[in-house]
Structure 1
């Protein structure tokens, strides 16, 4: 099978092109000599199956960052039949150096000048034919976002794959270091094939940035945008969640229970309906919220605003021993902590990278969001629920910043922060759909296993040993909750919720499903009604604070261990998050009670 690697700097649209070419066939794979997983997808070209690999975005082939080493190892140990180099045409004067470095290697290359539609708006003129003649490489103009030029790209790839696969020199670094002529060559190519205005005219990007990056108004606008994002997620997602949950309840009551009640013994019936079926229903009921969350986050990221947020927060983050990249990773953690932890590879300094990994698990990930949306809808009035969600969002940042302040001296760094600010863009619906579906499908693959397993485990704990009344203190769950009550009673957290927290250590998605099993409800509406009578708002908020801060899920812990390569650091991170969660919930609960709430 022929292999094509996509390579380019960050923010060149490389991943957008990869998604457009491979569609829904992308998968994650391991490669010899590479310590991380890379995204790959297959496509039939010219009667032959071709595999496309999306390599990490890098700025330079000389660097020592993890991403740069991944690319070098891949090119050395898995020599591709073709390398498609994706350059941002609007930044051609800064992007050409990477192409010239790659040209010095013995590789088959095709060059794509992406975002070509934006060069005209900026007054940039690129003579594609002249540049191709000077570099002796095929060069095409494309717009990955809109799909323009993609058919021509596939034709060029098909033609080029007919050439023999190149061989890679054994000493790749020595080959790369013999490129002193690159600066001269780059200046020659640019002078003869590219026209860039000395001063670009004011664009919509410049006008928007005067407001969005304003020294005073920039941060309030950012937090207002994030508040509106959570408000939309709650107002749109909560009714959809209720409808899906009601549909699964109706299926259970009208079809499954009458069908299975007469043929199955009670223990097996309870296992299948209260355990497995409830687990599946819980996963399905949260899909609308996850879809909305990733849809809105994709809009924030793809418009270019996420880079602005990192720029705005850099000054504040620098006081904590971090920088704007760490803030971007915190925002990524709102989807899932795992890819955010993996994204810290772009940070070269080990001290700053470890500090970033220490704070990322405090991000209010989509798994926690499910718990908070459900509880706020159950115990808080609709006008107050978005404010409660937003306050938890702020609490997650506060926990992260406090952690950075405490540990910054031990994990210090003086690495400079460099950030590209791409122009504002209007993401297409197809682009948003692909991004959202990729994240939701990842959630479904991961959450389905964890939630169903967790709900089944909750059912076992609340129904055994034999003879104990389901959900009573005589069950295994009741015994565990009673034993740990001395730790959680000062936080206002009852034994039933203590069990849910323990199961949430596996995955936070389990929490709501396990509560349904613990309280003996198969409908989320019934569970919400029970919680309303069992808890007041102070207990509910204390529980959510603890859920927000305490030990992350097993997947995050495993990633933390593999990325840090330190068992001691992982233990410190776990102990700190658990201690901080207890302290914050304790202070909130006791202060609220002292004030008469």
Structure 2
């Protein structure tokens, strides 16, 4: 599977056919894409999960067929960034077949999309997904009648559980057999709008919607989680439990992995590298092995964290948090989606930034992109767990972790308040709350594995390069050690700036490399100290006080985004002025926040 960051012509490579998947957000389109292609695109119960173009090639009718998963859209004639992405793709890339995925339980509101596809003259098949939910709500759909009225095959399926999938697959196969010429979207061919009368003419008699939905599980849960008084406290309690699980479940598992790493080092790695000259041996052990294994030891933390986040996303609870926070966000020039994307940045800021494409207002997009990098991403989480475990080892680390989450939230609010006059949002907030869904074990495991795979790819790439660079700076000039090395001199040079916030030269140097990727902060510490992860932790415990360690965490939370985040900001904002602001403002804010905390703590006698 590959991911494309633009909508220029995408070659079919060896494929002879092309199938494009379109649908409104939160219809299970990516789940269907995963099932038919066998890959693992990110799926979740929140609009805007697919924020770029995903493609995969599979064999159908003994022909290589390219399947393309396009971003979720509400209207083929729309003007939002995600809608323009789909329009440009279909204009530049002729499709042999378009698969329109609809949430069957919301067919009355989503039938617009297949009608637009029909108006454009694109060959299409309609998948009425989530048929199990529609049946539960008492919705009855005559697929044969609906197919005749639309002039395209219609199937009831459940992409999540596979119900109706084989019939749908055979229909796709037949449609591709009959397809002779691929078709481009011609934006001039369609009528300006599909009228309400046209929609009613298609639905009347073919679809029976209950006059009043019966009270259901979703409504009962929403009475509690969306309560005007208890809703927000319950949300923050839930977030605290996330960090409690990270601290009490993931941290002990890190210790177990360290035992395996130490055994590998003593039994295999050290005997092998001893055959090399001392300089090469030092490079391999203290430059590559120490840095990479220190970072890799946090894989259990990543697994636990993303299992929890996958459950929250796939269940539909994140949409509720958008609803809960919308009133506050609106006062800051944002809306509930901004808050949810800030939370989605917990995994990685990059996809959260790309998720702002679902917003039509450029001002809202820019203001949201400004606050997303303050989200407590998984890379920063690793740093915080490492530092807090060293300087605050009395078992209350979950509270300290949660305090950093609250700080990230407060800083996002302050930033929005400061810049809402610059980026004025006038877009109304409309969000349809999806029903609660129990994510399958397969979905959760695939999501977690995808994040671990991404992490390991980074660890084997530029994280390794970063650790090597740290080793070079802390090993030159030859014979120098500690603060006499180039790295030590860089740290000392920054002392007049960093001493007032309690960050020593060693920690300062690690922050330099954290600009490349925040994961490198941990790996660089192992290289800088020339120690194993456990020994580095002991050294930091002896030389760094709690307020110094917490000041370091504050700075790491808020300072300049990593290179991949910054590159995404540049691409999405299409403004160097805004990109420069996104680079400089967090750096200044990080220093000011750390200064206030550190000097305030000293003044209070800590």
TM class, shorter-chain normalised?
over 0.9
Change (3 A) 1:200 1:530: same
1:281 maps to what in 2?
293
Q: Aligned with 2:484: secondary structure? A: coil
1:177 aligns with 2:191: yes
Q: Aligned with 2:211: secondary structure? A: coil
Q: Separation in 2 of the partners of 1:37 and 1:144? A: 21
1:255 maps to what in 2?
268
CA contact (8 A) 2:57 2:65 kept: yes
1:48 maps to what in 2?
63
What are the within-5 Å matches in structure 2 for residues 153-192 of structure 1?
A: 153-166=168-181, 168=183, 172-180=186-194, 182-192=195-205
2:496 maps to what in 1?
486
1:513 aligns with 2:509: no
1:213 aligns with 2:226: yes
Deviations 1:447-489 (A, max 9, x none): 43122111111111111111212xx111001110110000010
Q: Which of 563, 566, 578 does residue 572 from structure 2 map onto?
A: 563
Q: Which of 584, 594, 598 does residue 585 from structure 1 map onto?
A: 594
Task: Please give the TM-score of this superposition, normalised by the length of structure 2.
Answer: 0.94
1:72 aligns with 2:87: yes
1:427 aligns with 2:439: yes
What are the within-5 Å matches in structure 2 for residues 512-531 of structure 1?
A: 512-521=522-531, 523-531=532-540
Q: Separation in 2 of the partners of 1:164 and 1:153? A: 16
1:31 maps to what in 2?
none
How much is the aligned-residue C-alpha RMSD, in angstroms?
A: 1.5
CA contact (8 A) 1:473 1:482 kept: yes
What are the within-5 Å matches in structure 2 for residues 22-41 of structure 1?
A: 22-24=37-39, 37-41=52-56
CA contact (8 A) 1:240 1:288 kept: yes
1:343 maps to what in 2?
355
1:404 maps to what in 2?
416
1:6 aligns with 2:21: yes
Q: Aligned with 2:54: secondary structure? A: strand
CA contact (8 A) 1:500 1:514 kept: yes
Change (3 A) 1:453 1:224: same
Q: Separation in 2 of the partners of 1:483 and 1:344? A: 39
1:379 aligns with 2:391: yes
Q: Separation in 1 of the partners of 2:228 and 2:374? A: 27
Q: Aligned with 2:279: secondary structure? A: helix
Q: Aligned with 2:162: secondary structure? A: coil
CA contact (8 A) 1:105 1:168 kept: no
1:468 maps to what in 2?
480
Q: CA deviation at 1:167?
A: 5.2
Q: Aligned with 2:120: secondary structure? A: coil
Q: CA deviation at 1:259?
A: 2.7
Q: Separation in 1 of the partners of 2:76 and 2:64? A: 29
CA contact (8 A) 1:351 1:413 kept: yes
What are the within-5 Å matches in structure 2 for residues 293-312 of structure 1?
A: 293-312=305-324
Change (3 A) 1:168 1:20: closer
Deviations 1:252-276 (A, max 9, x none): 1222212321x21111111112112
1:239 maps to what in 2?
252
1:93 maps to what in 2?
108
1:393 aligns with 2:405: yes
CA contact (8 A) 2:352 2:372 kept: yes
Q: Aligned with 2:276: secondary structure? A: coil
Q: Aligned with 1:162: secondary structure? A: helix
Q: Which of 197, 207, 211 does residue 194 from structure 1 map onto?
A: 207
1:20 aligns with 2:52: no
Q: CA deviation at 1:232?
A: 0.8
Q: Separation in 2 of the partners of 1:183 and 1:441? A: 47
Q: Which of 492, 510, 514 does residue 504 from structure 1 map onto?
A: 514
Q: Which of 124, 129, 132 does residue 147 from structure 2 map onto?
A: 132
Change (3 A) 1:67 1:433: same
Q: Separation in 1 of the partners of 2:267 and 2:372? A: 45
Task: Please give the TM-score of this superposition, normalised by the length of structure 1.
Answer: 0.95
Q: Separation in 2 of the partners of 1:435 and 1:271? A: 35
Unaligned runs of 5+ in 2: 1-14, 43-50
Q: Aligned with 2:461: secondary structure? A: helix
Deviations 1:88-136 (A, max 9, x none): 0000100001110111122211111000001121111111122112222
Q: CA deviation at 1:26?
A: 6.3
Q: CA deviation at 1:283?
A: 3.6
Q: Aligned with 2:188: secondary structure? A: helix
Q: Aligned with 1:404: secondary structure? A: helix
1:477 aligns with 2:487: yes
Q: CA deviation at 1:303?
A: 0.5
Q: Separation in 2 of the partners of 1:392 and 1:438? A: 26
Q: CA deviation at 1:214?
A: 0.6
CA contact (8 A) 1:462 1:475 kept: yes
1:145 maps to what in 2?
160
Q: Separation in 2 of the partners of 1:366 and 1:550? A: 15
Deviations 1:4-63 (A, max 9, x none): 111100010111111222223769xxxxxxxx8511122222222222111000001111
Change (3 A) 1:301 1:252: same
Q: Aligned with 2:388: secondary structure? A: helix
Q: Aligned with 2:435: secondary structure? A: coil
Q: CA deviation at 1:581?
A: 0.3
Q: Separation in 1 of the partners of 2:453 and 2:602? A: 43
CA contact (8 A) 1:17 1:145 kept: yes
